[in-house]
Structure 1
Amino acid sequence: MDIDTLVIGAGQAGLATSYWLSKAGVAHLVVDRRDRLGGSWPDRWDSFHLVAPNFTIRLPGKEYAGPDPDAFMPRDEIAGYVADYAADIDAPVRLGTTVRRLGAAGDRLLAHIDGDVIEARNVVLATGPFQRPRLPAAARGLADHVHQLHSQGYRRPGQLPDGGVLVVGTGQSGAQLVEDLHRTGREVHVAVSMCPAAPRRYRGRDMIWWLLQTFLHGAEVGVPFPTVADLPTPAARFACIPHLSGVDGGHDVDLRWLARDGVRLYGQLVAADGPVVRFSDDLDKRLAFVDSAFDREFRPLFDAYIAAAEIDAPPDDRPPRDDYVPPTSTELDLDAAGITTVLWATGYRLDFGWLDLPVLDEWGYPRHVRGVTEHPGLYAVSLPWLHTEGSSVLAGVGADAEHVVAHLAARNAQRKFAS
């Protein structure tokens, strides 16, 4: 099979790319290993809601226009929205198609699928940021009778064995899973990450509203939204996302409040020996970092935008910071504590092992400039900090896809002119 452009991945980023390819008149095919549309959203747990309000759904050609822009769409509705988007834009999608290897021959890229090879002049990698669950080395040291599950496989508290749960990691997913388990009466223990907290509302608006406005309009008033070039190191592309929740109309996730309500907090899980796990002795410092991150990373940006755009916003009315540090320990016997499950909310890592091209950096991330990789005709979208923090979310994938397709279309035109 010979086509102009192959898009690998039919989630929101791949479909946004398809939208712009169609607008540019570029013949293309979108393939996805899954057997149904909706991207990775169906992989979330049952009670999951968008952490960002519905007004952040900005897929090109299908921005949210429903009756509840400030609400938080539940999991199945998000998946349905993305699936409907494919139909709305008439995307040429082939499901149940796994690219086993992507290589090159001459000026063509060769995508090896089961029983066939697709030759393409251009390929867009749209496989998203959630490629392979990451498990720490300590997971191998746990006793065999302890049930282990990565957050990717978690759906509801009832799927876990009876007994307490140790949640390892308090990024955006981990913090929400702690709440999901705690509200059902489970005894929950938590190994706390260095992931920032964020207030649901700041100066009269949802925190994400300020983030979106700065993303869309900051440059117009001299407050540009940070790009990947502003990160201190390339490793910062993989930093965890602030924890918030879209459940019950949206709210903060406060680890100290959860501790006051009976959740047990610990430092970082550093080792496991059978049923015994050990933690770093720095819970107080971790909680202080978590609670202060918003004022370091986001508040200066938002305040600068509010001032520059001359927005009449109310003052910061967040309640005083809670300095409660719960009792903790550096060692926990899971059996003695009645803990039967360790739930790993330790994130994901990129997995481009099937990419047979020398374009990956030391983190397994394609070397690129805003999605244009070092290999001619190979592009990427929807990776963490591809261009900005919004590159892998519903609000940002469209802009990056448009940029990539503009480069791709110009490359096609140049090649036709040269021939």
Structure 2
Amino acid sequence: MSPSSIPQYSVVIVGGGQAGLSVSHFLRQQGLDHAVFEKHSAMHSWRSQRWDNFCLVTPNWQCALPGHPYAGDDPHGFMKKEQIADYLDGFRARVAPPLHEGVAVQGIRQEGGLFRIRSSEGECLAEQVVVASGGYHLPIVPRLAERLPASVAQIHSADYRNAAQLPPGKVLVVGSGQSGSQIAEDLHLAGREVVLAVGDAPRCARFYRGRDVVDWLADMGYYRMPVDQHPLREGVRDNTNHYVTGRDGGRDIDLRRFALEGMQLYGQLEALEGDTLRFRPSLAAALDSADRTYNGINAAIDKYIAEQGIQAGEASVYQPVWSPEGERETLSLADSGITSVIWCIGFAPDFRWLDAPVFNGQGHPVHRRGVTQVPGLFFIGLPWLHTWGSGRFSGVADDAAFIASQIAQHRMALQRELASVREAEASPA
């Protein structure tokens, strides 16, 4: 196929989620021709990779996609799965993006000053590319899973829907981040016996001193803090999210209380030897660390309240309601009655289709607010791309506006360069 017969766009956006469509929104305002390639359907993960009782863990008022803020009657509530999907459907209708659904991008490389994009729809060229496919591509499942008995059902958190999809018997949930803790709670509330392998995820309060903790942190400016001003700098991108829930109007997730109610807590899963699972003796330390974070956030709110002279509810410090008597390091699958395992240990990035020198040793893109060292190549929708809200509904609009402005500047530079070349060619020798 000759270059002249290949479709060419000013911009191609890879990914039709809220991040990609947010960029499309701003490019439309600029009148820039572009295409959005989505290998499934727009916003598909919100319907296909969430369990039935899934809800937001941040209040509805933080849903602030460009031109499409939350407009319901419960700004301090937490939308459920179908409500989130409806909100996103409304955003898609408002943006009306030039969307190519069911089109998988298979390869991108630079060629002659342009990006050549190979997809299931064919090839095209683009002056600039925005990667908006997120960073959660490959479900992580440890190699020891291969040696579990065939009688034990295994799924990843991305495939969990409800307790009824699992066979009767005890469920081992591996991982206690946002997904693991909420899935463990979902099973627990459904009356299932749960064994939870607790990791090092931190936790926070849902409500404190009369308000949602998110409201306090917003007032304190935490969500506006750019990554280069965070104490951990770019290291914050590797942090596990705090576990909390918006279920039933919102509440804390307290693993110690679950233990009082019969959930069995262990440390991190470390190995499988025959029929025996081995766990690190890390449970007590993990629970204590999560509580320190919980109390630390509340203490920061206390300080802010005092400094601002705000009238608020009484301050408090969380006191453990349960502590392990000792570390249990082994568990027999057969003797325990475990019939299913849910792996809740996250995802790995997979950008193998993008041929560009912009990745670090862990396969994550290196960028500054989504701008890479390759001119015309951008990323959006990643955790802490710029602020806490970059990977969420609350901050993606600012990121998208910034990326769109960078695209416009780069395009102007390309046009000036092209004009200079034409002027040189037209000048007499």
Give TM class, smaller chain. Answer: over 0.9
Q: Does the alignment pair 1:170 with 2:169? A: no
**Scaled by the length of structure 2, what TM-score is found?**
0.91
Between 1:8-17 and 1:23-32, the stretch displaced more is: 23-32
- Match in the other structure for 1:61: 67
1:75 counterpart residue number: 81
| Shift of residue 291, structure 1, vs aligned partner | 1.1
- The structure whose Rg is larger is 2
Deviations 1:162-191 (A, max 9, x none): 111000000001000011111111110010
Structure 2 vs 1, CA of residues 32 and 308 (structure 1 numbering), >3 Å: closer, same or farther?
farther
Offset at residue 89 of structure 1 (A): 1.7
Q: Which moved more, 1:396-405 or 1:255-264?
A: 396-405
- The Cα of 1:311 is off from its aligned counterpart by 4.1
The Cα shift of 1:229 comes to: 5.2
Output aligned runs, 1:246-257, within 5 Å.
246-257=246-257
Q: Give the distance between the partners of 1:212 and 1:8, measured in 2 at CA.
A: 31
Spell out the pairing of 1:333-352 with structure 2 (5 A cutoff). 333-352=332-351
Shift of 1:80: 2.0
Comparing 308-317 and 159-168, the one that deviates more: 308-317
C-alpha distance in 1 between matches for 2:401 and 2:306: 30
Aligned residue runs from structure 1 range 318-329, under 5 A: 320-325=319-324, 328-329=327-328
1:212 to partner: Cα distance: 3.0
Q: Please state how far the C-alpha of 1:328 moved relative to its aligned partner.
A: 4.9
User: 1:62 & 1:274 partners in 2: Cα distance?
Assistant: 54
SS across alignment from 1:329: coil
Unaligned residue ranges in structure 2 (runs of 5+) = 1-6, 420-429
Matching of residues 13-412 of structure 1 within 5 Å: 13-34=19-40, 36-42=41-47, 43-215=49-221, 225=225, 227-228=227-228, 230=230, 232=232, 234-296=234-296, 298-299=297-298, 302-303=301-302, 305-306=304-305, 311-317=310-316, 320-325=319-324, 328-412=327-411
What's the CA shift string for 1:291-320, capped at 9, x where partnerless? 111334x34654555456554443424554
Mapped contact 2:259–2:322 kept (Cα < 8 A): no
- 8 Å contact 1:228–1:385 — kept in the other structure? no
Q: Residues 371-400 of structure 1, C-alpha deviation per residue, up to 9 Å, x if partnerless?
A: 001111000001122112221011111111
Report if aligned partners of 1:146, 1:275 keep a CA contact under 8 Å in 2. no
Q: Secondary structure at the match of 1:166?
A: strand
Task: Assess, with a 3 A threshold, how the Cα gap between structure 1 residues 72 and 318 changes in structure 2: closer, same or farther.
Answer: farther
Deviates more, 1:311-320 or 1:22-31: 311-320
AA aligned opposite 1:281: P
Cα deviations across residues 37-57 of structure 1 (Å, max 9, x unaligned)? 324211100010111111110
Deviation of 1:78 (Å): 0.7
Contact 1:133 1:150 in 2 (8 A): yes
SS in 2 for 1:251: coil
The number of residues matched between the two structures is 411
For the 8 Å contact 1:11–1:126, the answer to whether it is kept is: yes
**Percent of aligned pairs with the same amino acid:** 38
Distance (Å, rounded) in 1 between the aligned partners of 2:233 and 2:325? 33
Looking at structure 1, the residues matched to 113 and 303 of structure 2 have their Cα atoms a distance apart, in angstroms, of 47
The answer as to whether partners of 2:139 and 2:156 remain within 8 angstroms in 1 is: yes
Q: Distance in 1 between matches of 2:276 and 2:161?
A: 26
Root mean square deviation, CA, Å: 2.0
In the alignment, the residues of structure 1 paired with residue 395 and residue 126 of structure 2 have an alpha-carbon distance, to the nearest angstrom, of: 26
Deviation at 1:273?
2.7
Structure 1 portions without partners, runs of 5+ = 219-223
Q: Which amino acid aligns with 1:59?
A: L
Q: CA deviation at 1:336?
A: 1.0
Q: Residues 276 and 50 (structure 1 numbering): CA distance in 2 closer, same or farther, change over 3 Å?
A: same
Name the aligned partner's letter for residue 177 of structure 2: G
SS in 1 for 2:336: coil
In structure 2, C-alpha distance between the alignment counterparts of 1:408 and 1:154, rounded to whole Å: 39
Alignment-derived partner of residue 221 in structure 1:
none
Q: CA deviation at 1:215?
A: 4.2
TM, length-normalised to structure 1: 0.93
Residue 128 (structure 1) shift = 1.6
Query: What is the match of residue 416 of structure 2?
Result: 417
Which sits farther off after the overlay, 105-114 or 273-282? 273-282
Measured against aligned partners, the alpha-carbon deviations of 1:49-108 in whole angstroms (never above 9, x if no partner) come to 111111110101001121111111011111221122111122111110110111110211
Q: 1:225 to 1:282 in 2, by over 3 A?
A: same
> Shift in Å at residue 118 of structure 1?
1.9
State the partner residue of 2:422.
none
Q: How far apart are 1:22 and its partner, in Å?
A: 1.3
Structure 2 CA distance for partners of 1:335 and 1:233, relative to 1, 3 Å? farther
Confirm or deny: 8 A CA contact 1:56 1:212 kept in the other structure: no
Q: Does the residue aligned with 1:71 lie in a helix, a strand or coil?
A: coil
